[in-house]
């Protein structure tokens, strides 16, 4: 329940701090006194969007803080899921800075507006004229039936199945689209893949082929220079090998004359061994090199193929071409497997369809079971509110498609008068009738949904006299199970509250401000008398006010 509300620097409110109690609390005040401002401030801690223009002093921040006692409402999982400190008295704070930035806190932990709004929806139901219009919507009507049918867990299971169904359905549609497009592209994909597979694609192949091409193109020059080198190595008179042999022989005769000569001989001998090896390799090269025009033609063809493929696929090197080939291979494999995948997804979708149909049937049967009782409760309570001929026709039909809440099309028809045709609420019910219907629905929901607090904003609009008295009785009865607030202009409703607050305007230093105070018993009599007869209070109005309170 809401135990404290403080508002600073919001609209016409300088500073407001009120302690609130359980039971039935009424809030009254003249038109324009600021009751809507009070609701606007409360809406900020419930996660509504902030409006910078509502800062009273544009240089200061606006702070709205609300304390809620939540120990009886099983909200610990919410706090755990959102990594928040759980406190039996939870403090929600909202700050609007002059810069326009907004901050929200739950027990001093910063939170997003989405989290704030989610918690707010679990703590307080602010009923406004706008919400009365929701009464005419099928989704709201179905939620009412589901609350009575205790369908919460069944709806969760259905929602999870529907989510899987939607996911599989999208995957199947994607596969079918892919198959249709792939059929057209399959031949071209296969052609490209075959072309790449026929090419010698491996890392470094371009460098190898270009080296081969260079050698084959210059084979005569290579042979000429190899022959010249061989001659210089092996000439009997001036050849490197002959001269090297003489040098080695000369130094070998000095090796015994000292360490330095011996080391020099070893170096010459090592150099000679290396020269001998080079000479052998030179001769091997001469034997291995041959003029081969057909090999050159083959190498040129391979290089040209690779150059063409690089250009065709916009690749910068062989590695990118290999990646293109792998991608085409995967696409070809996917195309080959698409029919099998379509069959698997189709089967999965059929299984989920059966599950959803079964879950929808359970929801429908549970809804059908509570509709007679709901109809009875609605009509009996509306009769007490001056609508003795009010009647409902509530029927369910199987929908063609899966909806977010089952496979039911709901027909929720109403008539206020005997002999009149049934019609949709938004077409046949007046504003006053809608308010009474909504109050009755909220009173029924109070038995099934454990919501800490509900606030009615002038739900008694369009009614008066004995009917308003009975509406107040319903709200007071509801307050036995939850905290109930009613913003009202009617003395009959105001008199039924356990607690009575008045919202009023005053002027200080040429500035108008809104304030709120809890009325004592004597102050309540005066307030009710003014509501009955205006500012000029008569004795009869005072007597009537006392009578209402007693």
Of 169, 153, 177, 176, nearest in space to 353 by CA: 169
pLDDT of 451 > 80? The answer is no
**If you average pLDDT over residues 431-448, what whole number do you get?**
87
Task: Label residue 291 exposed, middle or buried (CB < 10 Å: 0-12, 13-18, 19+).
Answer: exposed
Confidence (pLDDT) at 413: 94
Q: Where on the phi/psi map is residue 471: left (φ > 0), alpha (ψ -120 to 50), or beta?
A: alpha
Which two structure tokens, joined as six digits, stand for 169? 């359905």
Q: Given pLDDT bands bounded at 50, 70 and 90, which one contains residue 183?
A: low
Look at residue 36 in the predicted model and tell me its pLDDT. 79
Beta bridge partners of 109: 106
Q: Considering only residues 327 and 479, tell me which one the structure prediction assigns the higher pLDDT.
A: 479
Instruction: Work out the average pLDDT over 533-539.
Output: 84
Higher-confidence residue: 438 or 293?
A: 438
CATH of 1-133+451-519, one of 2.40.50.1020, 3.40.50.300, 3.20.20.110, 3.40.50.2300: 3.40.50.300
Binned at pLDDT 50, 70 and 90, residue 184 comes out as low
pLDDT at 181 over 80: no
pLDDT in tens, 356-395: 999 999 999 999 999 999 999 999 999 999 899 999 999 9
Query: What's the full length of the chain, in residues?
Result: 550
Average pLDDT over residues 196-200: 80
pLDDT cut 90: percent of the chain above it: 42
Average pLDDT in the 215-231 region? Answer: 77
Decide: helix, strand or coil at residue 392.
strand
pLDDT at 421 over 70: yes
pLDDT at residue 186, as a whole number: 66
Average pLDDT, the chain: 87
CB 530 within 8 A of CB 510: no
Residue 56 has pLDDT above 90, yes or no: no
The residue ranges of every structural domain in the chain are 1-133+451-519, 180-336
Tokens 């002027």 map to which residue? 507
| φ, ψ dihedrals at 394, nearest 5° | -120, 115
Q: How much is the pLDDT for 39?
A: 85
Q: Secondary structure of 471-515 in the HEC alphabet?
A: HHHHHHHHCCCCEEEEECCCHHHHCCCCEEEEEEEEEECCEEEEE
Ranked by mean pLDDT, the top range of 112-116, 177-181, 187-191, 246-250 is 112-116
**Which residue did the predictor score with more confidence, 223 or 100?**
100
pLDDT single digits (tens) 275-314: 888 888 887 777 767 777 777 788 777 888 888 888 888 8
* pLDDT (tens digit per residue) in 98-132: 888 889 999 999 999 999 999 998 899 888 766 67
Rounded to whole angstroms, how far apart are CA atoms 183 and 195? Answer: 19
- Best-predicted range by mean pLDDT (43-47, 199-203, 212-216, 461-465): 43-47
465, pLDDT greater than 90: no
The alpha-carbon radius of gyration of the chain (Å, integer) is 46
Q: Look at residue 407 and tell me whether its pLDDT is greater than 80.
A: yes
Helix (H, G, I), strand (E, B) or coil at 173: helix
Cα–Cα distances in Å, from 251 out to 233, 246, 259?
A: 21, 9, 12
């Amino acid at each position: 329940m809401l135990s404290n509300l403080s508002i600073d620097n919001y609209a016409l409110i300088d500073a407001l701090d009120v302690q609130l109690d359980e039971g039935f609390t009424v809030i009254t005040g003249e038109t324009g006194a600021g009751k809507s401002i009070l609701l606007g401030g409360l809406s900020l801690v419930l996660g509504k969007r902030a409006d910078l223009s509502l800062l009273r002093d544009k240089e200061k921040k606006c702070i709205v803080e609300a304390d809620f006692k939540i120990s009886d409402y099983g909200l610990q999982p919410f706090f755990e899921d959102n990594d928040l400190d759980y406190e039996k008295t939870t403090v929600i704070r909202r700050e609007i800075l002059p810069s326009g930035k907004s901050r929200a806190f739950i027990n001093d932990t910063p939170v997003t507006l989405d989290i704030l709004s989610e918690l707010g929806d679990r703590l307080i139901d602010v009923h406004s004229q706008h919400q009365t219009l929701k009464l005419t919507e099928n989704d709201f009507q179905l939620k009412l039936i589901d609350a009575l049918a205790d369908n919460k867990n069944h709806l969760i299971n259905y929602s999870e199945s529907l989510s899987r169904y939607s996911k599989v359905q999208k995957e199947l549609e994607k596969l079918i689209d892919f198959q249709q497009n792939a059929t057209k592209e399959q031949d071209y994909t296969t052609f490209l893949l075959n072309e790449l597979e026929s090419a010698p694609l491996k890392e470094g192949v371009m460098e190898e082929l270009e080296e081969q091409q260079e050698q084959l193109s210059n084979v005569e020059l290579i042979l000429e220079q190899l022959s010249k080198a061989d001659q210089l190595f092996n000439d009997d008179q001036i050849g490197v090998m002959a001269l090297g042999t003489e040098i080695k022989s000369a130094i070998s005769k000095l090796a015994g004359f000292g360490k330095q000569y011996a080391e020099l001989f070893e170096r010459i001998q090592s150099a000679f061994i290396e020269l001998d090896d080079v000479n052998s390799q030179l001769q091997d090269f001469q034997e291995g090199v041959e003029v081969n025009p057909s090999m050159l033609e083959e190498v040129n063809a391979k290089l040209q193929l690779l150059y063409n493929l690089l250009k065709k696929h916009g690749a910068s090197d062989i590695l990118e071409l290999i990646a293109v080939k792998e991608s085409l291979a995967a696409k070809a494999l996917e195309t080959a497997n698409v029919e099998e995948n379509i069959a698997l997804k189709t089967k999965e979708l059929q299984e989920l369809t059966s599950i959803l149909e079964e879950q929808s049937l359970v929801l429908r049967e549970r809804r059908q079971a509570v509709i007679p009782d709901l109809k009875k409760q609605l009509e009996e309570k509306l009769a007490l509110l001056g609508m003795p001929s009010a009647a409902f026709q509530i029927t369910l039909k199987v929908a063609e498609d899966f909806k977010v809440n089952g496979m039911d099309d709901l027909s929720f028809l109403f008539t206020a008068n005997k002999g009149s045709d049934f019609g949709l609420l938004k077409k046949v019910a007046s504003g006053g009738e809608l308010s009474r219907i909504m109050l009755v629905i909220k009173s029924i929901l109070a038995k099934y949904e454990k919501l800490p607090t509900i606030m009615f904003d002038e739900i008694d609009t369009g009614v008066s006299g004995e009917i308003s008295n009975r509406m107040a009785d319903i709200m007071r009865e509801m307050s036995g199970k939850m905290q109930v607030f009613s913003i009202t202009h009617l003395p009959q409703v105001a008199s039924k509250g356990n607690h009575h607050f008045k919202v009023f305007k005053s002027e200080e230093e040429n500035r108008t401000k809104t304030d709120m105070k809890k009325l004592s018993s004597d102050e309540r009599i005066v307030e009710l008398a003014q509501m009955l007869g205006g500012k000029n209070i008569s004795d009869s109005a005072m007597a009537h006010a006392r009578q209402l309170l007693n």
